[in-house]
């Protein structure tokens, strides 16, 4: 399937390109050209902007479905629903639960991917837990917390046919450092999360292979001038990535802007969305907890934030408005930075020759008009 795209502008890694034609060839981006051969197939998006597809590396659910439902239907429904948000790639994300429940979710994700996802494509499973500590548990169930167990993880990886791509843990737990090294040596990304670790402990985790901090400022020890804590470790290390939920509730807009300035292209926007996303206010379930959503904010009965209901496109628009930075710069924090955090920056995340032709069509208000995966339009608002 080969064609050319014409549009008013294209969001590139280093700026915006106005006009011209972008070639799409065999599901990948080709060259920009000023003229095309007669009889060429053209997708005419005059009046619109073309941007790379978004990549949500931390999403539990949306539109009444959750990965922990443990069903193929849930995974496929999530894949399709997030197309409207401009998301073309995602990491189906579990949460802390019983081993049986986690295994059921892994089995469902693996089966759904094997059958074929109808919308956004999975780039691997993200296990958020169960190797956390209680002080910053958030909406994770501490009943199931335990120390990292390589034998358990390897059994899960076998069940997943090798598709677990990322795991989050608290580095202060017993046996964590050798676990991080062994897991990262096998190609799995390790993130720091739901932790009361010291600055030094976090630095040791990074030296052993951890490369990311989950939902920065949330579920972690805060910044102090005598003990920088997890937040300090994340902000002062230019080599590691940090996730940020830009819904205006998890992190104050000014602090989100500050984090963006400090972390630059190592900041990655996520949603941490749960099943209440795109749904009306009311009562929902997140894992084993009841969650109550009011005015779009999801909380447990104990008052803790319980994931979010954020759409990734809105996180992009929020940070762009708060920071007053060019759209292309903020956009790539939700496309290229997530891809790079997973070692996929040469394949995904930007409009560049040879990369998969995942793209979205934006109107003047940055609303999603269409979404394409590997060159095929999967969502069209028209």
What is the distance between the alpha carbons of residues 272 and 38, in angstroms, rounded to a whole number? 47
| Secondary structure (DSSP) of 199-221 | HHHHHHHHHTT--EESSTTSSB-
Active site residue 272: yes
Count the neighbouring beta carbons within 10 Å of the beta carbon of residue 282: 10
Looking up tokens 């948000």, which residue turns up?
85
* 3-class secondary-structure state, position 116: coil
What is the distance between the alpha carbons of residues 64 and 43, in angstroms, rounded to a whole number? 34
What is the distance between the alpha carbons of residues 243 and 344, in angstroms, rounded to a whole number? 16
- Angle at the Cα of 8 (from 7 to 10), degrees rounded to 5? 75
| Catalytic one of 8, 272, 281, 295 | 272
How is residue 88 written in tokens? 């073309």
Burial 199-229 (b: 16+ CB within 10 A, else e): bebbbbbbebbbbbbbbbbbbbbebeeeebb
- Angle at the Cα of 143 (from 137 to 147), degrees rounded to 5? 75
Q: Among residues 245, 242, 248, which one has the least CA distance to residue 265?
A: 242
DSSP state of 160: T
Reading phi first (left if > 0) and then psi (alpha if -120 to 50, else beta), residue 63 is in left
**213 close to 199: Cβ distance less than 8 angstroms:** no
Q: Which residues are catalytic?
A: 272
């Amino acid at each position: 399937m080969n064609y050319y795209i014409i549009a008013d502008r294209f969001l590139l890694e280093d700026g915006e390109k106005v006009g011209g034609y972008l070639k799409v060839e065999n599901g990948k981006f080709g060259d920009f050209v000023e003229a095309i051969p007669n009889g060429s197939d053209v997708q005419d998006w005059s009046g619109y902007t073309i941007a790379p597809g978004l990549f949500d590396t931390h999403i539990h659910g949306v539109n009444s479905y959750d990965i922990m439902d443990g069903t193929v239907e849930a995974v496929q429904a999530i894949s399709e629903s997030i197309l409207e948000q401009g998301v073309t790639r995602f990491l189906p994300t579990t949460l802390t639960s019983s081993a049986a429940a986690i295994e059921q979710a892994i089995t469902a994700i693996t089966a759904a991917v094997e059958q074929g996802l109808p919308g956004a494509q999975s780039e691997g499973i993200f296990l958020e837990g169960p190797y956390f500590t209680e002080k910053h548990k958030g909406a994770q169930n501490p009943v199931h917390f335990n120390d990292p167990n390589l034998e358990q993880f390897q059994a899960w990886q076998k069940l997943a046919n090798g598709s677990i791509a990322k795991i989050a843990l608290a580095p202060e737990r017993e046996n964590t450092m050798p676990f991080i090294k062994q897991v990262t040596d096998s190609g799995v990304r390790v993130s720091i999360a739901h932790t009361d670790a010291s600055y030094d402990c976090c630095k040791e985790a990074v030296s052993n292979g951890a490369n990311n901090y989950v939902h920065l400022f949330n579920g972690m020890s805060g910044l102090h001038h005598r003990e920088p804590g997890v937040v300090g470790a994340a902000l002062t290390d230019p080599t590691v990535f940090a996730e940020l939920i830009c819904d205006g509730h998890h992190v104050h807009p000014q602090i989100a802007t500050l984090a963006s300035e400090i972390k630059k292209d190592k900041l990655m926007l996520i949603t941490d969305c749960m099943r209440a996303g795109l749904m009306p206010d009311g009562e929902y379930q997140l894992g084993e907890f009841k969650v109550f959503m009011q005015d779009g904010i999801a909380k447990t009965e104990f008052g803790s934030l319980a994931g979010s209901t954020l759409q990734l496109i809105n996180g992009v628009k929020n940070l762009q408005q708060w920071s007053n930075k060019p759209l292309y710069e903020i956009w790539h924090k939700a496309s290229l930075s997530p891809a790079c955090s997973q070692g996929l920056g040469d394949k995904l995340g930007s409009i560049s020759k040879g990369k998969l032709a995942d793209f979205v069509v934006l109107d003047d208000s940055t609303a999603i008009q269409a979404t394409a995966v590997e060159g095929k339009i999967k969502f069209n608002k028209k």
